Amino acid sequence: MRILCLDVGQKRIGIAMSDPTLQIALALKAYKRNSLYDDLKEFKKIVADYDIKEIVVGLPKNLNGTIGNKAKEVMGFAEEIEKYTLIPVVLWDERFSTNEANRIFEMAHITHKKRKPFIDTMASQIILQGYLDANKAR
């Protein structure tokens, strides 16, 4: 069994999943968004293909920890995913995940142009690793 993680954006969704031992977050892909129905079908297929038991969705809280419009949109999307896949969805604070992903690419001297296709996937991997580390006692 694995945990899936989504970093939801307007145009793309970064997707990562855990290894079967629930210790390591692995980048899977960046999904280019279509319609809500197509998005949900994609996640249901991933859930079936990888024996997913839980889905973590990055919640873009404001810097002061409050819930803004973007976070409300993501919360609604997370509810739709849970209804469609019948897999429990957990919201996880994603503040600074994209900044951290950019920092990793900068340390590797990868230009903005070259990192753009991978930034969402890296951010989802960072979100998931934080979630896995916080829940190691499970």
How far is residue 81's CA from residue 44's CA, in Å, rounded to a whole number? 8
Decide: 55 and 87 in contact? Cβ < 8 Å. yes
pLDDT tens per residue, range 21-68: 999 999 999 999 999 999 999 999 999 999 999 999 999 887 788 888
For each of the domains in the chain, give its residue range(s) and CATH number, in order of start.
2-134 (3.30.420.140)
SS (H, E, C) 73-130: HHHHHHHHHHHHHCCCEEEEECCCHHHHHHHHHHHCCCCHHHHHHHHHHHHHHHHHHH
How far is residue 20's CA from residue 2's CA, in Å, rounded to a whole number? 5
pLDDT for res 89: 97
pLDDT for res 52: 97
pLDDT tens per residue, range 61-120: 877 888 889 999 999 999 999 999 999 999 998 866 666 666 776 777 767 676 566 667
pTM: 0.86
Decide: 109 and 11 in contact? Cβ < 8 Å. no
